Amino acid sequence: MLRKIISVKNIGRFRNSAAPGNPDLSRHTLIVGANGLGKTTLCAVLRSLKTGDPDHILGRRTLGVEDPAIVEVLFPDGQMRFDGTSWSNTYPPLAIFDDTFVAENVHSGQMVEIDHRRNLYRVIIGEDGVSLAEEEATLAKHSREKTSKITATANAIQPHIPVGMKLDTFIALLPSPDIDMQIVEQQRSVEAARQAKQINDRPPLSEITFPTLPAGLMSLLARTIDDIARDAETRLAEHLAKHDMETDGGNWIAKGLEHAGGETCPFCGQNIQGLPLITAYRAVFSDRYKALRDEITAKRNYIIEQFGDGALGRINTQAEQIKGTINFWHRYCTFDPALLFVPEDIPDAIRLLGQAALALLERKDRMPLDPIQADAAFNAAVTTYDAAQGKVQELSEATRAVNTLIAAKKEETEAADLQATEDELIRRRAIKVRHTGPVAALCADHVRLTGEKDAINQRKDTVRAQLSAHSRRVMKPYEQRINHYLNVFNAGFRITEIRHGYPGGAAASTYQLVINRTSLNLGDERTPPDRASFKNTLSSGDRTTLALAFFLVHLEQDQNLDDKIVVFDDPFSSHDAFRRRQTVHEIAKVARSCAQVIVFSHDATFLKQVWDKAPTGERVALTLANHRRQGTKITPIDLKRACQGRTATDMDDLLTYVNTGSGNPLDLIRKMRLVLETHCWTTYPASFQPSQDWLGDIVRKIREGGNQHPAADLYDELDQINDYTSEHHHGENMADAMTDQIDSQELTGYIKRTLRIVNALQA
């Protein structure tokens, strides 16, 4: 039991609630307070004490104050304190009926939304069911979290999955150690299938041919003209030497002799008949000599043809063509292209050998009568060329081996299924991606998370089955008790078809209203206004009555109610007189079963009715008094004195007229004045004297006191109501008053204003 509210500081209207005479609380604690003075704030403090959630307090910190929000309360076991951030301890055995309970569990405004249905479900199923519901909700939350993570990993994996392949199929792909080689082979198969016609029409690799030195080259270089007369040869040599013509003079002379057909010299025109030098010329440049020179020229032209730039160009062209063929077939066959390319040093070897051979022939051409020996450059070129010839042989063998593969590929391509080979390539590539680096880690996470989610869902299904069985056991009796309370509150409706489900994955309850023997669904914000539903069939009082019925049944089913502190905050809002009296009865019944009941109300008369039903030694009455700059204070109040002249009957009559329009107008005007006078006497005892200051005196004193008067905020309302009621109350015989001169709508408006002033009607 809560023994004392020691202090509430810097929360809402409470700067510091402590005040002299702050008594201990009792099993029946009744607290009266005008709207806006702190009733709802105290309920928020108690809810924070129950749950340990500081937000209920922090959201209500006094505006404009820097000091922390502090709460100190006393229980039999000791003091509990909220230090501005957290409680020193919590007190879970609290049940609170207030606007928050209604808004969280029953309805918000005119709507019943999914959150209300979920929270109400927990109210209905009781503590045993709540433990199952909490476990089910926790499991459902964990399942959703796993689903979110699984979705995230799936989204991360998805870009790596081939089009048309499912995620599960991708993740299930087994690793292969030689997958890279398998992919290369399959790529060739796919390309071959795509290029079947080209493959079948494409010729195999051709073998390149390389030149050889002309036959008889070395014997030609060593040959002499031994059948020429020695003296003619000597004479010719001397003549050439005399005229510095050793280098190429012989060729020049030989060319000139071709034109010496007559008896004159082709060079000077003189007669050459019988000259011994000319005879020598003709001897030296005879047919055999010409034949030797022709052979030298032929050999030279052959070498130029086979070893010159033109030949090398043809070889390079053929090598490039072979390279293109190699590249083509390498896309479809497995071989090492490097073994088939013409080595770069072979053209150089050909060029060097040709140049060395031409150099020897040049020397022979200049000195055709002398033998020419192979020099070092020629021998080195021959050695290099012989080595290159070995590479050429290897190249030819490799070419023949690849051509065998090409023949097999052509045969394979003729029977290839393009779609099947492409699908297999996609699968092999997917295997590599699936088991490579980050993707492999993502897949491992996906498998792990999926397993964890499956385990959670299996447990959730088990708990949900237990929860469903429990719900079926308790919901029908719960429905019957709700309708019991709706009946005792004289409500014009009942509920039916309480059942549960899992909309959005979380357990929730729903029910139907029955009005005039017609069932209708609760509806929601999407329900059209022309369709009957919760929002347009129940009045404000009906909605409050339904919420109170849910709360009372919840208390009935609480096996630990005898340890509970039960709090009611204005439980009869918008109720007529009968429902007010029934609410008093139900509160008194709850108080007999719980550890402590605390009732907040704006209406002292209502609390006086509760007071009268409480045992004399187990009740205390407090008020929330406005101390201006000091904020609201919690002080004792004498409910009997507060309600003098403002009987329950007077209040009930005024409320009944507002709700039903029944009652004597002149009698109601008199009761309006009595209610207002009593309110001012009890609320401002230092300013007004009971049974001396009537309503006109009260208005005058407030006017004379100006803005400093404690009741200054009430002046305009009291002044207008005084003028209205005086017209029908003073200076005439009430028995002879003409009731038809009183406008019913105007009277209703002034009665509502009166009830709001005394906090008997919500603003």
CA–CA separation, 586 vs 583, rounded Å? 5
Nearest to 50 by CA among 87, 17, 99: 87
Residue 568 has pLDDT above 90, yes or no: yes
The residue out of 615, 643, 671 marking a domain boundary is: 643
pLDDT digits (tens, 9 = 90+) for 221-280: 887 655 444 444 565 666 667 766 666 555 655 555 555 555 666 666 565 555 565 555
77 & 39 share domain: yes
687 & 748 share domain: yes
What is the DSSP secondary-structure string of 469-496?
HHHHHHHHHHHHHHHHHHHHTT-S-EEE
Give the per-residue pLDDT at 732: 45
Which segment of 351-360, 449-458, 721-730, 734-743 scores lowest on mean pLDDT? 734-743
654 & 635 share domain: no
Give the H or E element holding residue 288.
helix 287-307
Say if CB 320 and CB 344 are below 8 A apart. no
The terminus-to-terminus CA distance of the chain in angstroms comes to 33
Please name the residue that has the structure tokens 């490799």.
Answer: 398
Q: Is 654 exposed, middle or buried (0-12, 13-18, 19+ CB in 10 A)?
A: buried
Nearest to 123 by CA among 95, 142, 90, 98: 95
pLDDT tier at 763, thresholds 50, 70, 90: very low
pLDDT digits (tens, 9 = 90+) for 586-645: 999 999 999 999 999 988 888 999 999 999 989 999 988 877 778 888 888 888 877 765
Which segment of 524-528, 563-567, 629-633 scores lowest on mean pLDDT? 524-528
662 & 747 share domain: yes
666 & 748 share domain: yes
Q: Which pair of structure tokens corresponds to residue 666?
A: 């002149």
CA–CA separation, 38 vs 63, rounded Å? 14
Q: In sequence order, which residues have a C-beta less than 8 Å from that of residue 137 and are 6 or more positions away?
A: 506, 507
DSSP state of 369: T
Q: Which pair of structure tokens corresponds to residue 25?
A: 């609380």
Nearest to 668 by CA among 716, 723, 725: 725
Nearest to 322 by CA among 212, 408, 405, 209: 209
CA–CA separation, 742 vs 753, rounded Å? 17
Nearest to 657 by CA among 582, 754, 726, 540: 754
Long-range contacts of 385-391 (CB under 8 A, 24+ apart): 385/349, 385/350, 385/352, 385/353, 387/349, 388/210, 388/343, 388/345, 388/346, 388/349, 388/350, 389/210, 391/343, 391/346
Say if CB 69 and CB 86 are below 8 A apart. no
Alpha carbon 207 to its chain's center: 63
CA–CA separation, 447 vs 453, rounded Å? 10
Q: Decide if 327 is inside a domain.
A: no
638 & 657 share domain: no
CA–CA separation, 655 vs 751, rounded Å? 8
CA–CA separation, 704 vs 695, rounded Å? 14
Give the per-residue pLDDT at 174: 92
Give the per-residue pLDDT at 2: 94
DSSP state of 576: -
Alpha carbon 152 to its chain's center: 7
Q: What is the mean pLDDT of the chain?
A: 81
Query: Residue 604 maps to which CATH number?
Result: 3.40.50.300
Say if CB 31 and CB 598 are below 8 A apart. yes
608 & 664 share domain: no
Q: Which pair of structure tokens corresponds to residue 314?
A: 């043809």
620 & 664 share domain: no
CA–CA separation, 736 vs 506, rounded Å? 67
622 & 660 share domain: no
The residues facing 515 across adjacent strands are 518
Question: Residue 77 belongs to what domain range?
Answer: 1-93+560-643
Give the per-residue pLDDT at 227: 41
Radius of gyration of the chain (CA): 59
Q: Decide if 732 is inside a domain.
A: yes
**pLDDT higher at 19 or 592:** 592
Long-range contacts of 328-331 (CB under 8 A, 24+ apart): 328/202, 329/202, 329/204, 329/205, 329/402, 329/405, 329/406, 329/409, 331/187, 331/188, 331/191, 331/192
Half-sphere exposure of 506 (CA within 13 A, CB side): 16
602 & 683 share domain: no
Q: Decide if 600 is inside a domain.
A: yes
**pLDDT higher at 740 or 439:** 439
87 & 12 share domain: yes
701 & 656 share domain: yes
Q: How far is CA 189 from CA 194, 398, 427, 442, in A?
A: 9, 22, 14, 31
Say if CB 16 and CB 585 are below 8 A apart. no
pLDDT digits (tens, 9 = 90+) for 446-491: 999 999 999 999 998 998 888 777 667 667 787 888 889 888 888 8
Q: In sequence order, which residues have a C-beta less than 8 Å from that of residue 719 and are 6 or more positions away?
A: 699, 703
CA–CA separation, 704 vs 719, rounded Å? 13
Say if CB 551 and CB 101 are below 8 A apart. yes
pLDDT digits (tens, 9 = 90+) for 319-328: 888 888 888 8
Coil/strand/helix, residue 295: helix
What letters, b where the CB count within 10 A reaches 16 and e where it falls short, cover 557-592? bbeebeebbbbbbbbbbbbbbebbbbbbebbbebbe
Type of residue at 169: T
As for how many domains the chain has, the answer is 2
- Residues 522-533, mean pLDDT to the nearest whole number: 68
Q: Decide if 445 is inside a domain.
A: no
**pLDDT higher at 194 or 313:** 313
**Beta strands 28-33; 619-626: pairing state:** parallel
Give the per-residue pLDDT at 140: 86
Which segment of 32-46, 126-140, 166-180 scores lowest on mean pLDDT? 126-140
The whole model's pTM is what? 0.51
Looking at the chain, the number of H-run helices and the number of E-run strands are 27, 12
CA–CA separation, 411 vs 418, rounded Å? 15
Residue 172 has pLDDT above 80, yes or no: yes
Q: How far is CA 295 from CA 217, 221, 233, 361, 381, in A?
A: 10, 10, 21, 10, 23
pLDDT tier at 74, thresholds 50, 70, 90: very high
Q: How far is CA 616 from CA 27, 322, 586, in A?
A: 11, 118, 19
Q: Decide if 720 is inside a domain.
A: yes
Alpha carbon 497 to its chain's center: 39
- Residues 358-365, mean pLDDT to the nearest whole number: 86
Q: In sequence order, which residues have a C-beta less than 8 Å from that of residue 580 and are 6 or more positions away?
A: 572, 606, 609, 652, 655
CA–CA separation, 327 vs 392, rounded Å? 19
Measure the CA dihedral 115/117/122/124, to 10°.
Answer: 160
Q: Decide if 63 is inside a domain.
A: yes
Say if CB 15 and CB 631 are below 8 A apart. yes
Give the per-residue pLDDT at 295: 86
pLDDT digits (tens, 9 = 90+) for 542-553: 777 888 888 898
pLDDT tier at 189, thresholds 50, 70, 90: confident
CA–CA separation, 497 vs 539, rounded Å? 21
Task: Provide the percentage of residues in the chain whose pLDDT is more than 90.
Answer: 26
Give the per-residue pLDDT at 420: 80
**Beta strands 565-569; 94-97: pairing state:** parallel
Give the per-residue pLDDT at 231: 47
Q: Decide if 73 is inside a domain.
A: yes
pLDDT tier at 215, thresholds 50, 70, 90: confident
Q: How many CB atoms lie within 10 A of CB 752?
A: 17
Q: Decide if 672 is inside a domain.
A: yes
The residue out of 603, 619, 643 marking a domain boundary is: 643
Give the per-residue pLDDT at 155: 94
The residue out of 643, 671, 696 marking a domain boundary is: 643
**Beta strands 94-97; 596-601: pairing state:** unpaired
Q: How many CB atoms lie within 10 A of CB 380?
A: 13
Give the H or E element holding residue 13.
none
